[in-house]
Amino acid sequence: MVWKLVFQSMLMLLMFELAAAPPPPPIAKPGCRDRCGDISIPYPFGIGNNCYMNESFSIECNKTGAFISAINMEVLNISAERAAATVKGPIISSNCSGRENGVPLNLSETPFVFSYYYNVFVAVGCNTQALMSGTRQTLVGCVSPCSDVESKNFCRAYPSSLLQVFNPKLEATDDREGCKLAFLVNETWFESNISDPFTVQHRDYVPTELVWMMDLNRFIDDQSFYCRSRYQNGSFGSECVCNGGYEGYPYLGCKGKHIYIFLQKYE
Ligand SMILES: *[C@@H]1O[C@H](CO)[C@@H](O)[C@H](O)[C@H]1NC(C)=O
Ligand SMILES: *[C@@H]1O[C@H](CO)[C@@H](O)[C@H](O)[C@H]1NC(C)=O
Ligand SMILES: *[C@@H]1O[C@H](CO)[C@@H](O)[C@H](O)[C@H]1NC(C)=O
Ligand SMILES: *[C@@H]1O[C@H](CO)[C@@H](O)[C@H](O)[C@H]1NC(C)=O
Ligand SMILES: *[C@@H]1O[C@H](CO)[C@@H](O)[C@H](O)[C@H]1NC(C)=O
Ligand SMILES: *[C@@H]1O[C@H](CO)[C@@H](O)[C@H](O)[C@H]1NC(C)=O
Ligand SMILES: *[C@@H]1O[C@H](CO)[C@@H](O)[C@H](O)[C@H]1NC(C)=O
Ligand SMILES: *[C@@H]1O[C@H](CO)[C@@H](O)[C@H](O)[C@H]1NC(C)=O
């Protein structure tokens, strides 16, 4: 009898816990779409007027996919937790039969930066030197080896922390010809999905990670959340979470937890 009571009250508690689990907080402003097809669109991004933080974060959603209009790049995923957007990144190539060369990118004067934390710069080819200049004229690049095992003829380098221009120059260090490639790619993806980097010449794009600058000054006295950044310039890639006692989606504001829900349920 006693056990039955204990069991019943445990069951009630369990049901209550399930019922009380709050729905995930909205990631879009009220009245705004939070998805484009399969892709979730968290604020500061948004679809349509008054739904994004400013024009730079406007998403065009159509039958082809989701595009960051300001830089005309197609989005594959946006992760607010990581403060990163996965976009279709270009593949720069030279002397590869049947492919166009890929368009270099210049994100200057936009809030977007190529993530040095999630991306790796890869050059593919035999004795290929690939160099690109960063925002502050720092050169990034590497020279690939030339072995008999074609799949080993690539090299990688880490981009500088505030890279906004992707315009690698491909050169042969000897008189060999042949296909050469350079791209900035999500490192985890590259390691787990690409065993032979030469196969990238048959792809239209690689997944590239962008981070963005957000003006967090308006929150400066706000105790309800905190942000951290992996970037030299703390304005970029701010990963924000609500502080203890607060809940919600930090970029739209964290609110104090409502403890009274507990009482309401027992009425
Ligand atoms: C969708 O928008 C992108 C970017 O503006 C554009 O390139 C593409 O052609 C559009 N697709 C359709 C089906 O309108
Ligand atoms: C998109 O980002 C979310 C959040 O980080 C992650 O869980 C998910 O696996 C990502 N999707 C793809 C296709 O990478
Ligand atoms: C990138 O664009 C900015 C202006 O938007 C320009 O000043 C700069 O020279 C460009 N950089 C390259 C490498 O094209
Ligand atoms: C591409 O091939 C041509 C000859 O077909 C050669 O002259 C040129 O040096 C090659 N370019 C590179 C970057 O390898
Ligand atoms: C990088 O790619 C991996 C594997 O596809 C994915 O799980 C991860 O979410 C991507 N990184 C970011 C920052 O989106
Ligand atoms: C990358 O590889 C993982 C497994 O390693 C697979 O689940 C995923 O679909 C692959 N992604 C792409 C874009 O090929
Ligand atoms: C949007 O906001 C970001 C962050 O404050 C800023 O860097 C960017 O210049 C703004 N874009 C426009 C079009 O005002
Ligand atoms: C970060 O970079 C932006 C744009 O280049 C600049 O306006 C801002 O002053 C920088 N902030 C810091 C803390 O260096």
Count of structural domains, the chain: 3
State whether 20 and 31 are in the same domain.
no
Centre of ligand 5 from the C-alpha of residue 102, in Å: 22
Is there a domain that residue 76 lies in? Answer: no
106 lines ligand 3 (CB under 6 A): yes
167 C-alpha vs ligand 3 centroid, how far in Å? 11
- Does 46 fall in a domain? yes
Is there a single domain that holds both residue 191 and residue 90? yes
Ligand 7 centroid to 109 CA: how many Å? Answer: 9
Residue 187 reports pLDDT greater than 50: yes
- CB under 8 Å to 150, separation ≥6 — which residues? 196, 198
**Residue 78 included in any domain:** no
The verdict on 48 and 158 lying in the same domain is: no
Residues spanned by the domain of 185:
86-212
pTM as predicted: 0.86
Per-residue pLDDT reduced to its tens digit, 196-212:
999 999 999 999 999 99
Q: Is the CB–ligand 3 distance for residue 61 below 6 Å?
A: no
Residue 77 forms part of a structural domain: no
Q: Which residue has the tokens 């993806």?
A: 189
CA of 71 to the centre of ligand 1 (A): 13
Q: Alpha-carbon distance 128 to 198, whole Å?
A: 13
Q: How confident is the model at residue 21 (pLDDT cuts 50, 70, 90)?
A: low
Same domain for 240 and 137: no
pLDDT digits 0-9 by tens, 45-68: 999 999 999 999 999 999 999 999
User: Is there a domain that residue 228 lies in?
Assistant: yes
- Asked whether residue 94 falls in the same domain as residue 197, the answer is yes
- Minimum-distance ligand to the CA of 205? 6
> What pLDDT, on a 0 to 100 scale, did the predictor assign at position 36?
97
Q: How many Å lie between the centroid of ligand 1 and the Cα of residue 129?
A: 35
Domain assignment present for residue 246? The answer is yes
CB 254 within 8 A of CB 243: yes
- Pair (56, 135) in one structural domain: no
151: domain CATH number?
2.60.120
Residues 35 and 13 in one domain: no
Domain identity same for 233 and 165: no
In a domain, 80, yes or no: no
Mark whether 61 and 121 lie in a shared domain. Answer: no
Residues 51 and 108 in one domain: no
CB of 107 within 6 A of ligand 7: the answer is: no
User: Does 125 share its domain with 14?
Assistant: no
Q: How far is CA 109 from CA 104, 106, 161, 184, in A?
A: 16, 9, 16, 20
Q: Is residue 81 part of a domain?
A: no
- Ligand 3 atom with minimal separation from the 106 CA: 1
What ligand has the least distance to the C-alpha of 68? 1
Q: What is the band of 266 on the pLDDT scale with cuts at 50, 70, 90?
A: very low
204 and 109, same domain (yes or no)? yes
On the question of pLDDT at 230 being above 60, the answer is yes
